[in-house]
Chains A and B, each alone.
Chain A
Amino acid sequence: MAEGIKDKVAIIGMGCTKFGELWDKGPENLMVEAFQEAIEDAGIEKKDIGAAWCGTCYDEVSVGKSAIPMAATLKLPFIPATRVENFCATGSEALRGACYAVASGAYDICLALGVEKLKDIGYGGLPQNEVQWGTRFRLVFPNLTPPGAFAMMGTRYFAQHGINPQDGKHALARITVKSHRNGAKNPKAHLRREVTIEEVMNAPIVAWPLGLFDCCGVSDGAAAAIVVRADLAKKFRPDPVYVKSLQIAASSGEEMAYTEWDYAHVETTARASQRAYREAGIKNPREEISMMEVHDCFSITELVTYEDLGISPRGMAKEDVEAGFFDLDGKLPCQPDGGLKCFGHPIGASGLRMMYEMYKQFQGKAGPRQIKNPRLGLTHNMGGIPPVNVVSVCIVGL
Chain B
Amino acid sequence: MIGITSYGAYIPFYRMNRMTIYGALGWLNPASLLPGEKAVANYDEDSLTMAVASAMDCLGGIERNKIGGVFFATTTAPYRERQNAGIIATVLDLRPDIRTSDFTASAKAGTGAFISAYDAVTSGSADNVLVCAADCRLGKPAGYLEEVYGDGGAAFLMGDSGVIASVEGTHSVSYDFVDHWRADEDRYNRAWEDRWIRDEGYGRFISEAISGLLRKYKLAPKDFAKVVYPCQYIRAHADIGKNLGFAPNQIQDHMFTATGHTGTAYPLMMLVAALEDAKPGDRILVASYGNGGDALVLQVTEEIQKARDRRGIRKHLASKKDLGSYEKYATFRNILGIDTGGRGEEVASTQMSTLWRERKMVLALCGSKCRRCGTPQYPPQQICANPKCGAVDEMDDYRFADRRGALFTYTSDLLAFSLSPPAIYGFVDFEGGGRWFFDLNDCDLESLSVGMPVELSFRRKYHDVARGIHGYYWKAIPVRA
Contacts and interface: CB of A to CB of B under 8 A. Distances in A.
Interface stretch (B130-138, B319-327, B372-380): B372-380
A258 B385 contact: yes
Given A139-B362, A208-B445, A257-B378, A156 B408 contact: yes
Nearest to A125: B415
24 contacts: A121-B342, A123-B342, A124-B415, A125-B415, A128-B417, A131-B348, A135-B354, A136-B358, A136-B379, A140-B473, A142-B437, A142-B439, A143-B413, A143-B423, A148-B425, A151-B411, A151-B413, A159-B450, A207-B413, A208-B422, A257-B378, A258-B377, A259-B433, A387-B427
B414 A152 contact: no
Contacts of A163: none
Contact of B348 (A130, A151, A204, A252): A130
Contacts of B387: 252, 254, 258
A139 B347 CA distance: 12
B379 A140 contact: yes
B351 interface: yes
Contacts of A123: 341-343
Contacts of A141: 437
Given A144-B416, A263-B427, A254 B386 contact: yes
A207 to B, nearest CB: 4
Given A148-B423, A252-B387, A139 B412 contact: no
SS class, residues of chain B in contact with chain A: mixed
- Of the listed residues B354, B408, B415, B450, the one surrounded by the most CB atoms of chain A closer than 10 A to its CB is B415
Interface of B: 341-343, 346-348, 350-351, 354-355, 358, 361-362, 375, 377-379, 381, 385-387, 408-418, 422-423, 425-427, 429, 433-439, 445, 450-451, 461, 471, 473
Interface in A103-137: 121-125, 128-131, 135-137
Interface string A95-107: 0000000000000
B351 A142 contact: no
B411 A148 contact: yes
Contacts of B386: 254, 258
A66 interface: no
B413 A257 contact: no
A368 interface: no
Given A125-B343, A135-B351, A143 B416 contact: yes
A205 interface: yes
Contact of B415 (A140, A145, A258, A259): A145
A148 B416 contact: yes
- Of the listed residues B346, B378, B435, the one surrounded by the most CB atoms of chain A closer than 10 A to its CB is B435
A168 interface: no
Interface residues of A, number: 45
SS class, residues of chain A in contact with chain B: loop
Given A131-B348, A143-B418, A258-B386, 19 more contacts: A121-B342, A125-B415, A128-B417, A130-B346, A139-B471, A140-B379, A143-B416, A143-B417, A147-B413, A148-B416, A148-B423, A205-B412, A207-B414, A207-B422, A208-B411, A208-B412, A252-B387, A257-B385, A257-B435
Nearest to A264: B409
A152 B411 contact: yes
Nearest to B475: A142
B343 A144 contact: no
A206 interface: yes
Given A144-B416, A145-B413, A145-B415, A258 B375 contact: yes
Contacts of A144: 413, 416, 425, 437
Given A130-B346, A140-B473, A263 B408 contact: yes
A138 interface: yes
Contact of B358 (A122, A129, A139, A210): A139
A253 interface: yes
Interface in A291-338: none
Contacts of B422: 207-208
A155 interface: yes
B22 to A, nearest CB: 33
Contacts of B358: 136, 139
Contacts of A155: 409-411, 426, 450
A34 B51 CA distance: 58
